[in-house]
């Protein structure tokens, strides 16, 4: 038992080190501390994301997403994403998805050209990159506080989602620990895709069982702390909207207006709902 426990602890330590240096934990990376974008209220950031999303979904041209993506890239330093390695770890799923969408549409569609594929790829990046900026610059606790105070979201829903989000890095670390523990015991798939899929399914089922048990304990703990009492809860930290939040939303709206205007002036405007 001592040997097994020691092996598992070593695997967990290696998993935590790998989670900070590889792309496995790209979706579980927390916010960068003390960055300029973190001064913007999370509610204002969500409103800005909604405005940009609405504009990107109304046209199929390439100019609109190009302008929006250029503006979003200017916010990367404000979110603390200045190192290429950190940026790649957080955005590789977005880049992979955008490339796949663009290439597949160009290769499999008779009507889609290279410009259409580029526009679709930029649109995917434009839709996903604001979420990356939000996660990279916003403390989840501030987000939950802002939602419950300004948008009157249920505290049970908001803080339940917050608790689930806090468990994401733990799931990533457990996945790496289980994978490394199996490798230590000599359970390897090699280059056999069938064996690899079977081992992945086994690890996934183990994580699912652990997540369900942990979720049940978490729900019981939240109920014990009065989240299911129906009594309105107060907020100790608070959340305040400042003039800079209004300016941030206004700047986002201005960028979207400029993007649509340039698209119309260049003749590339292609509304989705117009046949």
pLDDT digit string, tens, across residues 160-180 = 888 877 887 788 888 888 888
- Extract the tokens encoding 197: 């899929």
Region class of 236: left (phi > 0), else alpha (psi between -120 and 50), else beta: alpha
Strand partners, 59: 271
- Extract the tokens encoding 104: 């597949």
- What local confidence, expressed as pLDDT, does residue 74 receive? 96
Residue 166 lies in a domain: yes
Task: Please give the Cα distance from 241 to 178 (Å, whole number).
Answer: 44
> For the ranges 73-77, 81-85, 182-186, 219-223, which has the lowest average pLDDT?
182-186
Q: Is the pLDDT of residue 132 over 90?
A: yes
pLDDT band at residue 254, thresholds of 50, 70 and 90? Answer: very high
Residue 37 lies in a domain: yes
Q: Is the pLDDT of residue 152 over 80?
A: yes
Nearest alpha-carbon partner for 274 in 27, 59, 93 = 59
Q: Is the pLDDT of residue 92 over 50?
A: yes
What is this structure's pTM? 0.79
Count of domains observed in the chain: 1
Residue 244 lies in a domain: yes
* Distances, alpha carbon 220 to alpha carbons 171, 183, 225, 242, in Å: 20, 35, 9, 37
Q: How many Å from the N-terminal Cα to the C-terminal Cα in the chain?
A: 69
Residue 272 lies in a domain: no
Which residue range(s) make up the domain with 178?
A: 27-265
Residue 201 lies in a domain: yes
Q: Is the pLDDT of residue 127 over 90?
A: yes
Residue 24 per-residue DSSP state: G
Percent of the chain with pLDDT over 70: 86
Residue 53 lies in a domain: yes
Residue 184 lies in a domain: yes
Residue 6 lies in a domain: no
Task: Summarize the confidence of residues 233-257 as an average pLDDT.
Answer: 92
Kindly give, in sequence order, each residue whose CB lies less than 8 Å from that of residue 241, ignoring residues fewer than 6 positions away. 41, 43, 44, 150
Which residue matches tokens 């049970």?
156
């Amino acid at each position: 038992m001592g040997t097994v426990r020691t092996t598992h602890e070593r695997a967990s330590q290696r998993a935590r080190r790998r989670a900070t240096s590889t792309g496995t934990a790209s979706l579980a990376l927390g916010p960068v501390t003390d960055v300029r974008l973190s001064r913007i209220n999370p509610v204002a950031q969500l409103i800005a994301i909604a405005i940009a999303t609405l504009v990107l979904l109304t046209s199929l041209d390439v100019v609109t997403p190009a302008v929006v993506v250029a503006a979003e890239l200017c916010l990367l330093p404000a979110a603390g994403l200045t190192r290429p390695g950190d940026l790649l770890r957080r955005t590789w799923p977005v880049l992979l998805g955008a490339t796949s969408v663009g290439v597949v549409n160009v290769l499999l569609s008779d009507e889609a050209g290279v410009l259409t594929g580029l526009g679709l790829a930029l649109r995917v990046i434009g839709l996903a990159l604001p979420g990356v900026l939000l996660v990279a610059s916003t403390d989840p606790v501030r987000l939950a506080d802002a939602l419950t105070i300004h948008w009157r979201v249920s505290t049970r829903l908001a803080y339940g989602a917050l608790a689930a989000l806090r468990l994401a890095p733990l799931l990533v670390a457990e996945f790496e620990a289980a994978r490394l523990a199996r490798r230590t015991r000599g359970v390897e798939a090699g280059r056999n895709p069938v064996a690899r899929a079977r081992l992945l399914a086994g690890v996934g089922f183990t994580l699912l069982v652990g997540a369900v048990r942990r979720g049940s304990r978490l729900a019981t703990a939240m109920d014990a702390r009065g989240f299911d009492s129906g009594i309105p809860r107060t907020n100790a930290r608070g959340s305040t909207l400042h003039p800079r939040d209004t300016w941030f939303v206004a700047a986002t709206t201005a960028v979207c207006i400029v993007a649509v205007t340039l698209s119309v002036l260049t003749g590339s405007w292609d509304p989705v709902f117009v046949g």
